[in-house]
Amino acid sequence: FKEYREKLPSFSARFSPEKNPIYWTFRSKDIFERFDKFMERLYVVRDIFDTANEFFKLEKIELGGLKGRNLSRGIQEIYNEFKNIYAKWSQIQFDTLDPTPTVNYFDKERKEFQEESETLERRLSAILVQAFDECYTMESLIKLIEVCGSLLQRPIIFNEIKDKLDNILELYNDDLDLVKKVYDEGVDSMNIGGIETLKVDKSFPPYTGALTWIKKMKHRISKPTEDLPNIEFKEIFETEEGKYTMDKMKEMCDILDVLDKDIFNQWKAKVPDEINVNMRKFLLKSLDDGLLELNFDAALVAALKDCLLYTSPSPRDRQKS
């Protein structure tokens, strides 16, 4: 309509050059009023379907943490109530796309559906706020955001949890500072008393324990950022403060990589001599009471355990045997 209205002068000049063109002066509303109302109705119906799609996601949401079971039960109750609300909507007998003004049933049904769904949305936002309060690490917070997905962008929910989202960088910086503190304490302990003084899992020999200790710290600070492409609100890390935090994380990973390589090189240089010296000893030794005892040195046991767990010369490519 707009395209041909603008071309009227050229048509008139071509076919009736002796006459002045007669422009279309009537209002677009006179022609498209019903069409415009139909389009408005389509948008309203689409919003209803969008709301339904978001609420139906609640069926698969399970929350962890100390309060996870109770919070998940509350979410399931909201999901069941919404199913009943949507069932009423889907059983409407009139044509929901008919924009005829004399049909007033639609506005009444839509208003009722909207009020009931907004009530459920407020209840859901209260539950999600509690779930965010239960997230004490960056990794758990990222998992919660990933599980909830686009639900968090619902206006009512977003207004309630936006302050929690703003705390992502603060929580991540706390994790980075904590890892740096643990790293400094571990390095000081190794510098004073050797690698054997490092506090690691009891089941690990010293060097494997130290390398696993480094791996755990690196996993704690790098794993959350690996999930960023899959979550909403990742633009938080694209701000100036977010970029500073990411640079801080990369710097800490580089420090851990250097320590990892140094410890592995120490073990690689030390273990051959330990094995050679201890393997020259007799396998059995005689006790004063005439009994025999295995003469397996503790250093040799630790070296063999390290060899079983880490066999590749590259810190990056080591694999468990």
pLDDT at 225 over 80: no
- Name the average pLDDT for the chain: 80
pLDDT of residue 76: 93
Question: What does the CA dihedral 178, 182, 183, 184 come to, rounded to 10 degrees?
Answer: 100
Query: For the segment 138-191, what is each residue's pLDDT rounded down to a tens digit?
Result: 778 888 888 888 888 888 888 888 887 777 888 888 889 999 999 999 999 888
185: left (phi over 0), alpha (psi -120 to 50) or beta: alpha
pLDDT tens digits along 273-297 = 666 666 666 666 677 777 876 666 6
Token pair of 26 as six digits: 């009537």
pLDDT one-digit tens code per residue, 76-116: 999 999 999 999 888 888 888 888 766 667 888 888 899 99
- Per the CB < 8 A criterion, the answer to whether 41 and 48 are in contact is no
The predicted pLDDT at position 275 comes to 65
**Can you tell me the mean pLDDT for 38-42?**
91
Identify the band that residue 298 occupies on the pLDDT scale cut at 50, 70 and 90: low
For residue 33, is pLDDT > 60?
yes
pLDDT of res. 299: 62
Residues 16/21/25/28 CA torsion (nearest 10 deg)? 50
How is 136-166 classified by DSSP, letter by letter? -SHHHHHHHHHHHGGGGGSHHHHHHHHHHHH
Q: What are 113-139's pLDDT values in tens digits?
A: 999 999 999 999 999 999 888 887 777
